[in-house]
Chain A
């Protein structure tokens, strides 16, 4: 029972990240894409115990380096992740 939550905007720009985190359950996963990858250094993400992923090319485009609790994945792994999730919620 696990939901993949996709956040695609910067948490300093709007409250999509916060809304997602409010409803993020313990076994859920968080995937950051597009400007959402800026959230790897957002204070609210640092304390999460859930698995966090970010698209590698989107990070590279913004010079965002690998962070402790965020795993960078490629598009193929993204597809795998969404296939294995019970459902996907895109916060947009």
Chain B
């Protein structure tokens, strides 16, 4: 009993920082292995534990944000449809890289109604405010 209490105390001492703010950076196109799906799963799991989650889409990640993609036509599961669930998990801070969209000839448009479009420089300036940054 006492030893388990000790280990619990040690654990607390070892992690004095409370991690609350997560940035999840999506850098992969929708069918690039399972990265997009795994990223979305991670975001929803973190949010369900009441962590503050922001989503970023940069590089090929911006392809995930385009409307009217039909995954079923190549026999894939349409995980992009799950983006609709983000608002129910209070994931509202969604940032798209304008530079990446422009490079790829994509319009400033996405499946997200209230996404914010930022330059790479603006995204760089945002990153320091997060406790943990994960890339997928």
Residues of A near any B CB (own CB < 8 A): 1, 3, 15-16, 18-19, 22-25, 86-87, 89-92
Could you jot down 27 A-B contacts, CB within 8 Å? A1-B128, A3-B127, A3-B128, A15-B27, A15-B59, A15-B60, A16-B27, A18-B59, A19-B59, A22-B58, A22-B120, A22-B124, A23-B58, A23-B120, A23-B123, A23-B124, A23-B127, A25-B124, A86-B128, A87-B131, A87-B132, A89-B25, A89-B127, A89-B133, A89-B135, A91-B27, A91-B135
Q: Does A19 lie within 8 Å of B127, measured CB to CB?
A: no
Q: How close is B97's CB to chain A, nearest CB, in angstroms?
A: 8
Residues of B near any A CB (own CB < 8 A): 25, 27, 58-60, 99, 120, 123-124, 127-128, 130-133, 135
B residues within 8 A CB of A92? 135
Nearest 9 A-B pairs (CB), nearest first? A22-B120, A89-B133, A23-B124, A19-B59, A19-B27, A91-B135, A1-B128, A25-B124, A15-B59
